[in-house]
Structure formats: structure tokens, C-alpha cells
Structure 1
Amino acid sequence: MKTATYLMSALIVSAAFVGCGPLQSGQSKSSQPQDGQVDRFSFVEHPERNSIDILLDGQPYTAYCYADSLKKPVLFPLRTKGGNFITRGWPVQPRANERTDHPHHIGLWFNYGDVNGLDFWNNSTSIPTEKRMGYGSIHHAAVNRTESNGNSGVLDVTKYWLGPQGDSLLKEDTRYVFHVEADSSTSIELDIKLTALKDVSFKDNKEGVLGIRLARELEHPSDQPAKFTDANGIVTEVTQANNDGVTGHYVSSEGAEGDDVWGTRGKWVSLNGTIKGEDVSLVILDHSGNPGYPTYWHARGYGLFAANPLGQKELSGGKDVLNFKLDNGASTRFRYKVLIHAGNKLDAAAINDRFREFSGQ
């Protein structure tokens, strides 16, 4: 009975997200202008699915998904250039041996756990009706432009952060820049402008702000009980996790490793692992101009990889306090770069070079 209940819950959650993510390969081809330059990235809009496919050399790379059921727009899934998934599939596209916790952890997203007392981070379709007044959601408003230029592609969008009764707290203008690096790794830069539409308070909270939910292979090995899917999508509770192929290991710019990265500050964190024989380094670079720089890291061994510069009191054990605020009409800017490097593992010197280039230091 317990297994059947878990299965029904998983099916209900999964059904809400049908259509998120590129459907298949070969949907488009890279264009080649008369000057001979090949545009590597292309964008295919699917208004009926509330998504935009981002293709690299005509193959699925990621998708910008903005269905209301997601409670915020996300990039899902993320892949290496070779096509291996680095993000968890559940609850959108479940795969075998995946954890089924935190249904709000989907792909790559940006939001926060306490904005004028509303929780934007934990919102999902699983929140009981009687509790939904405590949650906010982020709604896609417009695609301002898409652009392809050689090794880069740009998606520029506008979103609104809404309270449970539809009132607007923030306008978000985000520019996603997708890029093929010189070493054939790929990157995603996020340039996020938040404009307050009323006085807004971001009370220190551990849930934020830039998050990625990882594929099982990039988690840290664990012997703790948990719930996992099998090859048929059935959810089962196990007393000890199967760690076959689980290879993740965090390393921060300040030398912290593994679970010790959580609650520390740093300019960047790298997550190293192996997926189907392919060595992978997934790196989040902070930017020196961001509020709360250098960020605290909300990096968990079970598969949450997040940078949180606003939750300082919670992540420092009370040592630091920020309680960031924006007055009505004021704006702030967050910039991050996500490196997806495959084929070998990036060392600290190489990542520091990327950080200096990105952050202007």
C-alpha cells in the first residue's frame, strides 16, 4: 500500500510537467550565414508547451520551461555537450534510481525563501491548498529577444514575482547567455535584474537563490534511508541507498571539500563526478558585484547545489546578518556563470582563471 501511494503521488506530480524540456534530437539545425560563421545555438518556441527549446548544433541542450505548475521558470534539463544529463529528471522526466524529495527542485532556477514573508523557494503543486497563501510564484511575462551569434546564444526574458493573490512584488529581467567554450565545455551566464514594485524585504533565509538539482551520479555517496524511483518510475522507500555510480565531490575556492562546503563563503564551487564514463566538472561562479559577495553555499550532498548570498544569518550560524531590502522602484543585479565541463576535471587554477575573466578581477 505504501509503494502504491508513493507511485500515485509521483504520477500526479509528474503529470503536471508534461512538455517541459526538449522532446527529441534533430528538431533544428545550426544556421550558416553567407560569411561562413556557424551559429551553434538555436531557439525553438513552443507556446503550447510553455517552453523554449535551446539547441546546440541542432541537438537538445536545455529548455526554458515556464508552465504555471512549475511555480517559477526553470532551465531543464541541463546536459554536458556530449548529451549526459547533469540534472535530476524527477518529477518532470523521471529516471531510474533518483531521489523523490523536494518536488520544487527542478533543473536550474533562481528564487528565494522569504520575500516579504512569502516562500518562493519551496512552492510546488504538492503544497496543500490550505497553506498556499504563504507562498509566492514567479510568472513568465515575455520573451524580449533571442539571438544566435557563432558560439553564443542569448535568451532575454521578463518575469514577475507574484504573491498568492496575484499582486506583483518584483519585476525580473533575466538575460541567459549560452556559450561553447574554447575547450568545448559549455557555459550558461545569468544576468538578473530585480526591480522592486513595492518595498521588498529579503529576510535572511537558507533557501536561495541560484539552485541546481543534480543527477544521481553527481550526488555524494550516502548510506541514509531515502525514497527512490526504479526503471518503471515506481517510488520505493529503501533503508540504505544504492551508491553504484554515485561519484559527486564538492570543492570550493577556499579549499573546503565535500559536505564541509555547506555554510561557507567562496568565489566559486566545483562539483566533480563521473557520468557514464565521462568525467564532469560542474562549476558555479559568483560575481564580485553581487549583493552579499562572496556568496554562502547551500550545497548538499543529496543533490542540491545552490549559491545563497542573502541567507547569511542562517548559513553562518548567526555570525553574519544581511536582511537585504529594496525600496519601491529600486533595482539590484545578480550575475552567475555555470560551467559544464566534460572530458576531464577542472583544477582550481583553471577555475580561478575563469572566475577572474567573468568577475573582472
Structure 2
Amino acid sequence: MKLSILDQSPISEGSDTAEALENTRRLAKVADQLGFTRYWVAEHHSTSGLASTSPEVLIPHLATMTTRIRFGSGGVLLPQYSPYKVAENFKLLEALFPGRIDLGVGRSPGGGETIRLALTDGIKKNLIEFPRQLTELQGFLDNNFPIGHDYRKIKTSPVTKTLPATWVLGLSSRSAKHAAHNSTGFTYGHFIHPHQGQEAIATYLEHFQPSERMPKPAVNACVFVICAETEKEAEKIAISQDLWLLAVEKGRSTKVKSIAEAKRIPLSSADKKRIIENRQRTVIGSPNQVKKKLLQLADAYQTDEIMVITNVYDFEDKLHSYELLAETFDLRAESDSL
């Protein structure tokens, strides 16, 4: 099975953006060496705890430091932008790094109304425009608008021999249908909503329309993972992520607290219940335990690729988690065989 990484560049309490981005650089280089398939960086705005705001800026920085792994966006907030500009950005990335670029897009508004207006320079955009924008994005990438379309004569530059692979990031059958009808890959966000993945992916596979660019469907699912030498150690490390998720949901500081600080925070019965519920978004344990659970998840989601996200306080714990995953799944041998 293939494993990939989603990195939001989380900032730990007592740290800063510079250190978070340095950790992203370190992890990307290690992931390239360990045999992970792809490395996606996120887009988040007006948050104190996540450093990744612009995937199209971060991707070439990381790709230059590596040799093999694919880089992509997880994902560009398409409703806030011009499909034409997004297409040109990622075709340029593909020209710079042929065969290594993924364009992941999502329907998320990216924040509250004020943030959305700031992103669009005061122009109110409606999320219901996403299907049209996705179709136009593919039209610009493929340069194949139908006769009579207003944009048919536009040639998206630069001209490239290969195209970035487009993926739709989604949480529902609606998003899955958008991906299927536009011949893109589909990523299900299990780490956000773990309850509709099987239905969404089944919908995608049923409705997928092959194209010259993408003759076969492509599916992966993203899940929080914490892997350590023992289950006890993994559970200890997971406390910082548990409290981070709780804080994010409450709209509080999104910096990741230390294990010691997390243990000191008083929790209500509702908090404890929510932490237990959030564990459905997460796989935690020893290498063998994690491997078993991820294989079960991949089987349920009809995919041979799981995307992993790990937001814990100590970067060394995070790095070791990925190293253990690469070892137990023998990723180097998998990547060498491709």
C-alpha cells in the first residue's frame, strides 16, 4: 500500500512560524527518502497555529529540496480564486517539476465572511459556483473548452508535455460527483468527517467519467495517525493532538500544546466525550496496530493509498511516527518498484 502526507505546518506552543516551516522542510526531505508517494501542503488563513497559507509558494520550495516525491496542494480554496490563475500557477509548477505536481482543490470557504471577502478583494462569491469553477479549471488545464465557450481562445501558459494531476478534496457524495464528472482524483477527508467515506467513494467510482488525461479513477483518504514504539507511548503523545482538535473546534488558539500542558487543562464531561468522538478520525498505536487499522481503512475505502496527517507537539515524535510507518509498510521497496 502507498502512504502519503498532508502537512498543515502546525505551530507548537512556545514556537513560531519559522520553526514550523523548518519542520515542514525537514519532514518533506525525510518523506522523499523514506518512500512516501506524495506530500501535500495546506491552505489556512488568519490562524495563529498553522503556518501554511499558500501552497503554490511552498510547493516549489520543497520540490527543489527533493528528487522523487510528488508535491501538491491539500488544497487550494477554489471558490475564492480565478480557475484560470490557479491553472496557470500549477502548469508552471508542472513545467518546473514534470510529473511531480498534484493540484488538490476544495470547496471550503477558508474561513468566515470577512476572510472570504479579503481573499476575493471584496467580491462576494457563492460556494454553489464550485462545479462551474472546477469544470473551467479542467478546461484551462486541458485547453479543450467546447466550441462557443467564452474562454475557448485562451491558451493557458506555459505549454507543458505533462499536466498536474487534479484532485478534489471532499467530505460527501456531492464532492465525489464533482470529481467523477470532471475526471479528477478524489480524496476523502476522514480526518475531518469519518462517517460518510464509504458512501462518497462508492459514488465517485460509480459516476467516474474517464478522459484522455485520466482514464481510470484515483482515490485516497486522509486520516490522523500517531505511531510509536508501543501503544502506551502513542497514547501519551496523542494527548497533545486531542487537545489541539478540541481547541480548534472551540475556536480557540490553534497552537499545539505540550503533553504536560495538555494534561493540566481541566476537561468537562462534554470535552471528554468529544475527545472520544474525535478518536474516530484518528489511528493511534504501535506499528503493527496502526498497519492493521490502516489496511482495514484502505479496504473499506477501496483504495491502495492512505494520506497521513500528524499534528502533535514534539516534532521529533511526529518524525519518528512517519519513520515507523515507512518501515512497517516497507515504503522504500514499494517506491523502488514503481
The two structures share one fold, judged by TM-score above 0.5: no
So what's the TM-score if we normalise by structure 2?
A: 0.25
Greater helix content:
2
Larger relative CO (CA 8 A, sep 6+): 1 or 2? 2
Whose strand fraction is larger, Structure 1's or Structure 2's? 1
